[in-house]
Chain A
Amino acid sequence: MPEQTVDLSVSLAGVALKNPVVVASGTFGFGREYSQFYDLSALGGICVKGLTLHPRAGNPPPRIAETPRGILNSVGLQNPGVEAFVAEELPFLRQYDVKVIANISGNTPEEYGIMCETLAAAGVDMIEVNISCPNVKAGGMAYGTKPELAAEVTETAKRHAGDVPVMVKLSPNVTDITEIARAVAGAGADALSLINTIRGMRIDVKTHRPVLHMNTGGLSGPAVLPVAVRMVWEVANAVDLPILGMGGVSCGEDAAQLMLAGASAVAVGTAIFADVYAPLHVRDQLRDLAAAQGLTAVSQFTGAVRAW
């Protein structure tokens, strides 16, 4: 029997990804470090380290703590600023055949607007609007937890992004994520990405001190996968927008769960710290899983959950 070929390509709000595996913002820098290990063109897309209008030094260390099947981080959006990204990092990424998704965070809707204009002019493939970073005091998560603020940021971003699709990254730190998803969809978002990290805390019982200098941080890794699957499923049922699913993906079956729940593509993040090749393994395992199930395209997983 001839080997079944599986079409890996997917579309995310009109952006054609050669495969559905993207790397998650904050875990992959601007790609330089991992380009030492493999050709970045092997990835479907790269969500770059979160950008702000001006450079940010981030939070004092410790910024990371290990937890059962997960990690907490509180980097605090350390980044060189959007202009340095455009001048120094984007040209590097453009050497590769990979979709570049610029992740942005602002303190005000105006800041989101300025960044969208800069990035659209620079020609990124997509803008991921972070309204959900748990690690900064101003803005950040506040936008992600109030529907009217989330809508305002989305509208502003859309108005300034030109033809570049705007994907809004949702926070799981809410009572009802569909409420935010509906508000953002109503404001014109082209796609949604979820989930960002879940707020958590770890305390060193010897010193009675939190391990993170900022006391709390964002939880990621396999521990959050079931939360991500549930939220992707809820959002997919609530709005008619393509979804980039993420949260604890470390193998093909994890990715398939998010896609079955409704995601068009998936992002791999924390798993890269244990295995730099994790995104490529997820891609191959997803392809093999699709082949084993007789599918002709991985996109056939999307939304195919047979819910009870």
Chain B
Amino acid sequence: MPKQQTCTILSKVWLNQDTVYLSLLAGDMVRTTFRGPGQFLHIKCGDGLMLRRPISVSTCSTDGSEDQISVVFEIRGQGTAWLAERNKGESLDVLGLLGNGYPIAPESRCLLVGGGIGVPPLLGCAQYTQGRSSAILGFRSSDKGILQDRFRKSCASVQLATDDGSLGYHGFVDAVLQNTLERDDAYDAVLACGPRPMLKNVAAVSRQFGIPCWVSMEERMGCGVGACLVCACGMKDGRMAHVCKDGPVFNAQEVDWNA
């Protein structure tokens, strides 16, 4: 069961001009609430804002006396701007770990497909699968690229793509996914995180190769724990699932991509 607690910022790194990496000291939060890579934290961003901000966990560890959790976020509005101004040693009010995470085993060989700020949570998947997985990372342009070196250390292979061709393949990650699976489709699952149109395309390519595909969805969120029902995600069977409690990770074939 999740916890609401204070976490101290252990380190802070600007990954590019609007993306911040924070490492947090989290007590026993990981030991007690970890369900799989891909869960998220709901972080209070100052006293003036009524809503916490849901931010995916990038990596976590239980190696030290206190658990550590790293998150990476992009400045998108007031809340994330406030969070980006925090520094090492300051405390954050954190609710976590929330959501379900990707349903994979450490022995899984996965293909990780990330777009933009959807890339960081897949680093946790790469580490969890102990180097067996491969990654396809897409960015708008080379100056937006993040965490490539960390992925190279934790993956069997890493392919890059940019919308403008300034780094790696010139185009979208679903095209790289298609090429990759044509050469080798012996993966246990495709794990994806990124903008909704990207997820939809990745789901279609995975389906074509008959590979299970799990996607991490994003929606404007309220409580973060499944009580207020605002972060709705329409499913193919007509059900309204909720990103915070039933997700954020969903079976791509169950999501109503036309909703």
Contact = CB atoms under 8 A, between A and B. Distances in A.
B226 A29 contact: yes
B4 A275 contact: yes
Contact of A34 (B93, B225, B231): B225
A221 B50 CA distance: 7
Given A33-B223, A64-B220, A276 B232 contact: no
A18 B228 CA distance: 25
A33 B229 contact: no
A87 interface: no
Contact of B227 (A33, A58, A71, A73): A33
Contacts of A70: 50
Interface string A264-299: 000000101111110000000000000000000000
B4 A26 contact: no
B153 to A, nearest CB: 36
Interface stretch (B20-28, B114-122, B172-180, B233-241): B233-241
A29 B234 CA distance: 19
B51 A71 contact: yes
A28 interface: yes
A138 interface: no
B229 A274 contact: no
Nearest to A26: B228
A67 B52 CA distance: 13
A273 B52 contact: yes
A57 interface: yes
A273 B229 contact: no
Nearest to A275: B4
Contact of A273 (B226, B228, B239): B228
B222 A64 contact: yes
A78 interface: yes
B233 A61 contact: yes
A57 B223 contact: no
B229 A78 contact: yes
A270 B232 contact: no
Interface string B67-94: 0000000000010000000000000010
Contacts of B3: 37
B158 to A, nearest CB: 33
Contacts of A274: 44, 49-52
B220 A58 contact: no
Contact of B225 (A57, A58, A61, A276): A276
A60 B52 CA distance: 21
Interface string A213-256: 00000000110000000000000000000000000000000000
A114 B214 CA distance: 42
Interface string B9-36: 0000000000000000000000000000
A186 interface: no
Q: Which secondary structure dominates chain A's binding surface?
A: loop
B232 A58 contact: yes
B95 to A, nearest CB: 7
A65 B49 CA distance: 11
A27 B228 contact: yes
Contacts of B232: 58-61, 63, 78
Interface in B45-69: 48-52
Given A27-B223, A29-B228, A221-B50, A60 B2 contact: no
Contact of A78 (B4, B223, B240, B259): B240
A33 B259 contact: no
Contacts of A36: 1-2, 225
A91 interface: no
Contact of B51 (A32, A60, A273): A273
Contacts of B220: 61-65, 211
Interface string A29-64: 100111011000000000001000000011111111
B144 interface: no
Contacts of A221: 50
Nearest to A31: B227
7 contacts: A26-B229, A36-B225, A61-B219, A63-B220, A69-B50, A221-B50, A273-B223
Query: What are the nearest 8 A-B pairs in CB distance?
Result: A29-B227, A36-B1, A64-B230, A63-B230, A33-B225, A62-B220, A33-B227, A61-B232
Given A66-B49, A277-B4, 19 more contacts: A28-B227, A29-B226, A32-B226, A34-B225, A36-B1, A37-B1, A49-B227, A58-B229, A61-B230, A61-B231, A63-B230, A64-B222, A69-B50, A71-B50, A78-B232, A221-B50, A270-B50, A274-B49, A274-B52
